[in-house]
Structure 1
Amino acid sequence: MNRTVPVAIVLIAATILAVPAHTTADTGPSDHELAPDRYEMTVSDAIETPVRTVTLQETDHEISSLTVVDPGESVSVSVSGPNETYRVYLYNGDEQIVSERRGDGDGSFTFDLSGNDPGSYMLAVQQDGYYRTVHPVVVRGYEVTVDAAEVVTVGDDLTVTANVSRIADAPSPDSVEVTVVDDETTVRATATQTSERTYTASVSTGDIGTGEYSLYAGVRSDDPAFGERAVVGISRSVDLSVEQDRTTTESGPSNGGPSGGESPATTPASETTPETVTQTTQPSATVTTTATGERTPTRTEGTTESTSTATGDASVLTPDSSTTAPDSDDGGSDSSGQSGLGILGAISAMVSMSLLAIRRSRSR
């Protein structure tokens, strides 16, 4: 009994001392875990992609690039970091290690991908039990090219054609996706197969605004890999410019005239000078016949005026008008303008002369 008690006390003390040590390790990550940027990995033929999250061994990692290689090719890897031992692993889509390299400080490595099936892979730098940095690698089974306009007006739909050709023993495409991306925005659209090798997608630009973007298309299989479906083909990115609508509406003149041009020339009515034509008939000479000093008939001819008025508007016609002034003395005139009283006076004079001649002959 006396020996048992001291043993129990030692065990309890050991347990108490061990708990804080274990708690400290679990509650706070090491200095290396807090500073993953101490390690940098550069992989050959890297392509910039939208920032997204991938999962490796139940740990999330943000990535912004990947490398695409053909089956049988190799990738070159450069690692820079502290002078501490680390390992570079190559994982397949099932998160199994297919190859590894050991390093200490800055190092360069080559991974031969011969014999690896098309699909998604992951390079990871592990140090002290933590993944310091990761980089996706796609062994492509499809060659993908895209055909799209380089400039599009904001709000319009952009039609993208993806041409997909099988280049290796790869699973059939589960989907073909088109992605438009810049530093802050990512828009994805699933393409529809229109022929054996052609897929077409319509991307709406209404929600992304004006600016410069990158566009690419990728082929995914239905095999899971790193928290998403495996990529088995991806195109090179192309530049896309989304611009403001260049069509502007020109406002018309303030007086309500036609818009987008000069107002038609018009002549105000007040500026129209009518053309006046006056025709004047001169009076004929006054004929005076005197018979024995008794009577002197006088003929006065009226004046006839004709006025024609024309305005500058060819669509308005003003017919000519004629006005005949009546005789002021005789009360009427014939159509030729001769006074009826003048004719009677002439006849009377002739009669008087005849009578005078008869009288003279009788007196002889």
Structure 2
Amino acid sequence: MLAIVHIGAPKAGSTALQETLRANRGRLWSQGIFAFAPQWGPFDRALSARFANQNEPVIPNLRDKFATPAAMHRWSMRNWQDLERRVHKNRPEVTILSSEHFLDLAEPEALYGALRTIFDEIAVICYLRDPVALYPSKINQQIRDGLRLSQLETPDAFAYRPASRIEAHVRLADAGRIAVRNFDRANLTGGDIVRDFCQRCEAIIGRPVGMPRVPEQSNESLCGAASAWLLGVNETFVPAYASLETIAARRGVIMRLRADPVLAEYPRLKLDDARMAQCIRRNAAPVIAHHNSAYFTDQKQWPEAAATVDHGGGPEDARARMRDWLWSYADPQALRRVIEVATAER
């Protein structure tokens, strides 16, 4: 039996893919493919939480589901038991598993050890996002998570995932059965991750895979104006000490901001500051060179850093440039709409 394991990376279409897998479980099963999804709880943590560091506190957005890291670990173990039971009972030809947190496991050997007790073969699919494209998405996520301006990663301090993370999975998966893709619409089959993922699966199993039901876009970033407004709110928000009621209220505000059709027309964060972008490319230069030569030889490649990079005036200047970049999205009309949506009666 074969497991096709989607290992992420984070902020590279994983949520859209997982929701599509969940929506198409019946159609996939009719093709001999079992797409595992938890009966409840966050899809991305269902299998990965088994290997997480239990000394780290549960993030605020999950505290209403899991009071302690141990509780989340027990839930993940039950998901693994459910996976093993279903696979052994039904013996599907192919099983698809997905978590963007697999890629960043401190000891991926434990994941593959667990997989090999269930499956005969393991293939891996991974999507990696250009560092400059990833940065605004990560900043947006950090703002939604409650970080203050002083806690956000500046371009100078932004550390892109080292090549060793993906290389560990290359060693542990079955030889030659790993596909690493540049997560760029111009590079993906059909311009989206679902169609591209289907094509990778087809290449692995040697036959077509039908998965036509694609849900609406999910886990969308806030528009730039909403991100700037929420960053100001974060100055009085301390995630570690926030009550469940406060966390739920904040989540509701963010959901309304993301769902509002007027705000959807405003631009999202995009790194159009050339010096900030070049700082990121400079810091990620070894990873960019590695991925271009190891994985993207037949794909759209990531641009490399310019020969010379203006470093600016140090950390304080970098923080100021980032602040100015974020606040450039806060025009009065957009902010008015943000506040209207955030304070609307429900």
> Which TM-score applies when normalising by structure 2?
0.21
Greater strand percent: which structure? 1
> Which TM-score applies when normalising by structure 1?
0.21
Greater helix percent: which structure? 2
Between structure 1 and structure 2, the one with the greater Rg is: 1
Higher relative contact order (CA 8 A, sep 6+): 2
